Structure 1
Amino acid sequence: MKAETKRQRLTAVLVLLSTLVGIGACVPGQEPPPPPSQRLDVVVNIFPLRWLADRIGGDLVTVRTIEAEPHEEGHGAADDPLSEPDRELIRRADANLFAGNMSADLRATLEQWRRADPNARLYDISELNRLDLRPGPAELADDLVADRLDPHFWMDPQRMVVAADWVTTQLFSAVTLDEALKTNPDKYKTELEKRHGDVVIELQELDHDLNAALPEECRGRWIVPEHPAFMYLAMRYGLQQFAVSGLWSEDLPVQVRRQREKDLAKLFQADPRPAFFYTIDKDLSDEDRNQLSRLASEYGMTPGVLDSLEEEPAITGPDGKTITGYPDAMRANARNIAREFRCD
């Protein structure tokens, strides 16, 4: 009898504790986040859009990235750029937020999908005029979007502010189309606008920090990256980019290659000299990497490192640990440029 009484008391205590925990989990005056079954499924193709959707959407979204890599042709069966898991993600998503830097096959597949299905929720930020995309270097080749524009807008924090506006608009549009969420759209609009404001402040602080890290007094102003993804970074902070990507391609006419090599040699005859940079990008061939190393050694230099951030950051911070967030990854890029230019 005594053992049974103890069990009953223990059960009562556990029930009371679980009730108190449940009460403590709710903040007075604040509704709990929607359960996973009522969250928006958001699909992206690059890391910067994932960062924006996660930060602005918060508990309202579940964000996934498709497997298809930006420059990879024929990811799925029969040279289909989309694997079947990718197709399923896109079909089920409440919003597919893409940037235009993708293989020509993938871009064509998505465009065909969008034309065939009027209800397809496929949105390409590269079509947004407010981004003010500019003509990119020819070396970007298939990376260029319509009108030969450079899609790497996220290399400029001010263009990321414009992208944050766009992502917020797309997420709220998805709310109004969702049966479970559209019953209280004002609530979600307020939440999205609050987090959007926080992200804009974060991006403005990043812009301030990059300006401070790359002052006009820097020793050099020309960067020579392995991959020409840094035009908007260069434009925003008074730098200029001379990319060597494709310089040794068999498709490049010999006369064009020789002229570009002469142009590069002329840059290195000036003072201050440019700075070489490897790009953290697993898609770049070892042959290009070896050629860049050879070229840099001719000028007595060892390349630094920049991260194009199309995929999850691979660049490291001062402590040697890999960075996970967009702002810190951009600060690391700026630090590496400043180090090569011997900025104060």
Structure 2
Amino acid sequence: MGQGYSLTTLSAGSATIDVPELSDLSYEKSLGDGRLMKCIRARHRNGLVVVKVAMKPYASMKLDRYVNALLEERRELAQIPNALAYHRILETPTNGYLIRQYIHSSLYDRMSTRPFLEDIEKRWLAFQLLCAVRDCHARNIYHGDIKTENILVTSWNWLYLADFSSSFKPIYLPEDNPADFSFYFDASGRRTCYVAPERFLGTGSLNEGTGKLTWAMDIFSVGCVIAEIFLETPIFNYSQLFRYRAGEYEPQHVHLNKIEDKGVRELVQHMIQLEPESRYSAEEYLNFWRQKTFPDYFFNFLHQYMYTITDPSSGHGPIGSEKFEESDNRIDKIYYDFDKITYLLDNDADSESIKPRESTPKKWNDVFLST
């Protein structure tokens, strides 16, 4: 009942990376067998990568439209410090491949890993997520599937929004058939649902939902993720989202009242409102909750400074230095800047204390892969 899929639907199938175009990658292990794409961890000469593979249902199928959209998206995301695009986008006669750098922990993994996150670290991750969404929306890029599994966190607690899917996942879903949701948005099988309620349409109106993703749809998902960061449990599963839309479920009574900080609680409640017009943009949330939830030094100093530390090109020393010296160079930078860091953090410096530089495009060769 509703579990079958058209032959025109991409399937992970028995997809593999054993093709000449990926001869520089060696298979390590499977990371998941989703029905849309198979996820593989592979090794490149410069480190680990994630390869997402979709098998074409027939050889004559062309993916040009998706490839072009993803290439344009990658160009824009290169300007955003908290976004991680696909480094290589490849179509072969039988498969489509999306390849990006491997980062050890997703936000979902990090929340359950010792040492557990402190309150200020949770605020810092929520702040970075809002910054990532703000910068993406400013470039008319919408994610479409924001959830803790699609947010990556480094050992420095630097956050990357990854696995953008607006170019190949549907915007609208049928409200009376969970098969599409399971196929496109529930690869982990957790049944968590952070898709905005307005994206579910009735059978008669589904064909009318041919528009584009909006920033308000992403904002709803961001609110759900921020709630999960502070609660360490999801606030919506698939059935609860429909009950919420029908007015039969109140997450603030079941979950949100457990968030101790009033500012965070109000932030989440505002972001998950049912009416998309009532939600603010990410920029407005950052401005309105500045000093309420997010301290000034996040804006004036910490975000820009941490970007210079984590940027793949910032740790390079003089020409001729070995790659393993990059970590030492970054530690040296923090050591020599320590007086400035302590002064700015202790005094919650104003915006004139340090001038943020313009974000520079990521150099993909410095990460792992060439185009």
| Larger Rg over CA atoms | 1
With structure 1 as the length reference, what TM-score do the two structures score? 0.26
Structure with a larger share of its residues in helix: 1
Structure number with higher strand proportion: 2
TM-score (norm 2): 0.25
